[in-house]
Amino acid sequence: MMITNGQLSKIYVLAKENGVDNDTLHELIKSMFNLNSLKRLSFVQAGKVIERLGGKNSQENYIKSLERQIGWAKNPERLKGFIKGMFKKDSINKLTKKEKSKLIEALKSMKSRCEDV
């Protein structure tokens, strides 16, 4: 059975949420299954791509990626302090999914301000 339209949509949404551009997404497909097109994925292969892009820790991975992009990775206390200031919690693991989304939006905003300078 081939990939469904729902799976295809889910892959693109997860890629966007995780900051994976189209070229990188296709490189991932090539490296995982030696295919050049998402539409050639099987149902099972598409499930594996979805799992890879949207695994259990995808929000945490995206937060860590943004942390690196804004230059905070060398000092983990910066992110920890930012989380404490926003949510009164001391780690990413204690945030709800909704709070993680708010944190991602705040970090994306900071990233865009850094790029404008």
Convert the pLDDT of each residue in 59-110 to its tens digit.
787 788 889 889 998 998 999 999 999 999 988 889 888 898 899 899 989 9
**DSSP 8-state code for residue 71:** T
Mean pLDDT, rounded, of the chain: 88
The pair phi, psi for residue 41, each rounded to 5°, is -70, 150
CA angle 54, 70, 62 (to 5 degrees): 5
Q: How far apart are the C-alpha atoms of 89 and 78, rounded to whole Å?
A: 13
Q: pLDDT-based confidence at 41, cuts 50/70/90?
A: very high
The pair phi, psi for residue 115, each rounded to 5°, is -75, -25
* 14: pLDDT strictly greater than 90: no
